Amino acid sequence: MTKTKTPTVLLDCDTGIDDALALILLAALHRAGRITLAGVTTTAGNTTAEQAARNTRWILGLAGIGEEVPVVAGEAGPVVVDLVTTPETHGPTGLGYAQAPAAEVGYDWQGLWREVLQDDGDALLVVTGPATNAAVWSRANALPKHITLMGGAYLYPGNTTPTAEWNSWVDPHAAKELFGAVTRPITVCALGVTEQMLLTPKLLEESVAALGDCALAKVLEPMLRFYFEFHQAQGEGYLAQVHDLLAVMIALGIVDVEAHTLRVDVEADSALLRGTTVADFKGHWNQPANARLIIQANVAQAWDVWREALGLLRAFHSAS
Ligand code: BDR
Ligand code: CA
């Protein structure tokens, strides 16, 4: 009988409230031995790369993961344009009304990628922030075989401009460079799918209750209250779209999806269309596919996965 290998995961994020939920999921699965979270690197987007690293370390710590999982700050800003962060979406330091303590962070993100990718050539790289690190990496190194990217809005309204999604808008040149560099289609989780996963106040209440007296339980509410208020101010209702949580589940293959494999590209230089993503559904460009664009995901199943992860964290806490 062949034994299935435990997936190795390298997360590249800009923590960020929904990135934090993705980290909580990964922490639970890592502690349960279902994945190996080999490292986390950060990009600048929702907040600075340094602050994202502090946020990451704090969230992982609250989820019971210490220094055994390295957390390193990545590139300080986009490859061409100036950095813009989004305190109005994710709060002054990225975690809504919650605040990570001050902490030293490391900077050798390429060293960490090298180590992880040399150890396991099948490692899953999941990018839930701007594609800056991945683009820089692609200039001198082979890209990992398995990449999942949260970003873009394909035939779908943007959340930053009428046509652009935030991660693609922050560093459009990086997104374009990454899609130009890949040698096999990467999995793309764009707004058309990720906006389907909506965390409601009721689900938050259930999530907090599911965690029992884990330290994390006290942080979820102030983080998500900020995110609910942001979405309400945007006219979406008092709820939160949790893009990165769904993207990580899709990367791990633990929710059912439908996908189209095709060519995509990103507009980087026009002011009007900065960060606009285009998918060649009809093959007009006659170019090889570079994306496995997710067009449907089973969100009910995703919430079951989330509930199970919180139950695992509670069980680990009770056993400690
Ligand atoms: C993406 O932008 C960020 O604000 C979120 O963390 C997510 O990665 C959604 O557009
Ligand atoms: Ca993010």
Which residue's CA is the closest to the ligand 1 atom numbered 10? 166
Residue 216 within a domain: yes
Residue 1 within a domain: no
Strand 36-42 relative to strand 71-73: parallel, antiparallel, unpaired? parallel
Judge if the beta carbon of residue 167 lies within 6 A of ligand 1. yes
Residue 39 within a domain: yes
Judge if the beta carbon of residue 12 lies within 6 A of ligand 1. no
pTM over 0.75: yes
Ligand 1 probe mutation, 128, 223, 226, 245, most atoms within 8 A of CB: 128
- Amino acid identity at 4: T
Domain containing residue 21: CATH number: 3.90.245.10
pLDDT of residue 2: 55
Atom number, ligand 1, closest to the C-alpha of residue 90: 4
Q: Which residue range(s) make up the domain with 294?
A: 8-319
pLDDT of residue 3: 61
Atom number, ligand 1, closest to the C-alpha of residue 46: 4
Ligand 1 probe mutation, 11, 14, 126, 170, most atoms within 8 A of CB: 14
Find, among 167, 143, 142, the residue nearest to 52 by Cα: 167
User: Distance between CA atoms of 149 and 179, rounded to whole angstroms?
Assistant: 10
User: Distance between CA atoms of 241 and 257, rounded to whole angstroms?
Assistant: 18
**Model confidence at 289: pLDDT above 70:** yes
Residue 78 within a domain: yes
How many structural domains compose the chain?
1
Residue 297 within a domain: yes
Single out the catalytic residue among 173, 243, 260, 284: 243
pLDDT in tens, 242-265: 999 999 999 999 999 999 999 999
**Model confidence at 4: pLDDT above 80:** no
- Catalytic annotation present for 243: yes
Which residue's CA is the closest to the ligand 1 atom numbered 2? 166
Average pLDDT over residues 140-148: 98
Cross-strand pairs, 295:
none
Identify the three-state secondary structure at position 80.
Answer: coil
User: Distance between CA atoms of 198 and 14, rounded to whole angstroms?
Assistant: 20
Residue 3 within a domain: no
